[in-house]
Amino acid sequence: MNKKDENKPVAGSLLENEGEGSKSAARRYAQSTQEFIESGKVDEAAHNASEALEGPEGDELRRAEQESKNRAVGGVTKK
């Protein structure tokens, strides 16, 4: 193996570029989501989120949500 090859990710390693749409990241996300659902904490988290939206940080949370939605579709955020 030459010096140039030493820095290349090994096939199947966590550093390997999977191209567009990382299957391993999708699996980790799905697993984490399933574990959260099974933990029984969904209702509590939804209640806390609802309270936060109604509280003093509500406007900031809605603004952040809109900015992230705009970026997700390639839009430009307005200030």
DSSP string, 12-69: TSTTS---SS-HHHHHHHHHHHHHHHHHT-HHHHHHHHHHHHHSTTHHHHHHHHHHHH
pTM over 0.75: no
What's the whole-number average pLDDT of the chain? Answer: 84
Based on its alpha-carbon atoms, the radius of gyration of the chain, rounded to whole angstroms, reads 20
- Whole-number pLDDT of residue 76: 59
Please give the Cα distance from 49 to 61 (Å, whole number): 10
Please give the Cα distance from 64 to 77 (Å, whole number): 10
